[in-house]
Amino acid sequence: MSSHPLSYHLVSPYIKADFNSTIISKETVTTWVQYSLGWLQLSVAFILVATVAVFVKNKVQQIWITCLFFSRAYDLITSKLRVSSSNAFSFLVFDLPITAVKGKAARKSFFEDRNLSNAEGYRIFGGPNAISKVDENHVHPDKDEHLTRFMLRITDLVQRDRYTDAMPALFDAVGDLMATWGNQGIMDPFQNIYDVSLYYPSIPPPK
């Protein structure tokens, strides 16, 4: 370093210039620009890779939660609520927000809130026609309309002919399932009822 107070050398793997010099070589400027552009490209690439990684991770997690929601909804909700720091947690299924709550206060608010509709929760099971984007100017859609659509779908499922054909096979299947419990022992009715209510036997199609 020079003894002059305004004179020193900028040491770098690529640049070595004297600040007292009035002329900087073209090669030095070119090297400095290339060095800066290299770091800029590396930074942009790193940010892009990180953004894509986060996006892919969120999408994979959403797909995994969606699969669990349709295959093991009870286990999914209970496990998430068990580790949740609050009495509620939210997740997305087909980009639709779903919130699960627990506790007396949360259940009371859920059933008494006039802004909530029982039919809204069944929209996800109604097929693609029932899942539509809500108009931003119509935040609370007509609840009677959704309830009517839901009741029409239920009516199609509980026609008398359907019951006549399905009930014998359904009772036989449930009877076979209950026979596996045995005649002695201890059972948890609150747990075993899920085995019955969520049991899907092979039922012949309606004639």
pLDDT in tens, 134-184: 444 444 455 556 667 767 777 777 777 777 777 888 888 888 878 887 787
Alpha carbon 181 to its chain centroid, in Å, reads: 36
| Residue 100, domain member (yes or no) | yes
- Please count the other Cβ atoms lying within 10 Å of the Cβ belonging to residue 106: 15
- Please count the other Cβ atoms lying within 10 Å of the Cβ belonging to residue 175: 9
Task: Check residues 52 and 152 and name the one with the higher pLDDT.
Answer: 52
Task: Check residues 196 and 202 and name the one with the higher pLDDT.
Answer: 196
Are residues 78 and 58 located together in one domain of the fold?
no
Output the pLDDT for position 16: 46
| Residue 135, domain member (yes or no) | no
CA distance 150 to 125: 10
Residues near 97 by Cβ (< 8 Å), separated by ≥ 6?
90, 91
Band (8; pLDDT cuts 50, 70, 90) = very low
| Residue 176, domain member (yes or no) | no
Are residues 18 and 54 located together in one domain of the fold?
yes
Least confident of 77-86, 131-140, 145-154, 187-196: 131-140
| Residue 123, domain member (yes or no) | no
201's tokens: 């036997």
Task: Check residues 150 and 63 and name the one with the higher pLDDT.
Answer: 63
| Residue 160, domain member (yes or no) | no
| Residue 102, domain member (yes or no) | yes
DSSP letters spanning 77-94: HHHHHHH-SSSEEEEEET
| Residue 109, domain member (yes or no) | yes
The sign of the CA dihedral 40, 42, 43, 44 is positive
Are residues 52 and 92 located together in one domain of the fold?
no
User: Can you give the residue range of the structural domain that contains 18?
Assistant: 9-62
Count of domains in the chain? 2
pTM over 0.85: no
| Residue 149, domain member (yes or no) | no
Are residues 50 and 80 located together in one domain of the fold?
no
Encode pLDDT of 91-147 as tens digits: 887 777 777 888 887 777 777 777 666 666 666 665 545 555 444 444 445 555 666
Are residues 33 and 53 located together in one domain of the fold?
yes
| DSSP secondary structure letter of residue 123 | G
Are residues 76 and 108 located together in one domain of the fold?
yes
Are residues 55 and 78 located together in one domain of the fold?
no
At residue 129, φ and ψ (nearest 5 deg) are: -70, -30
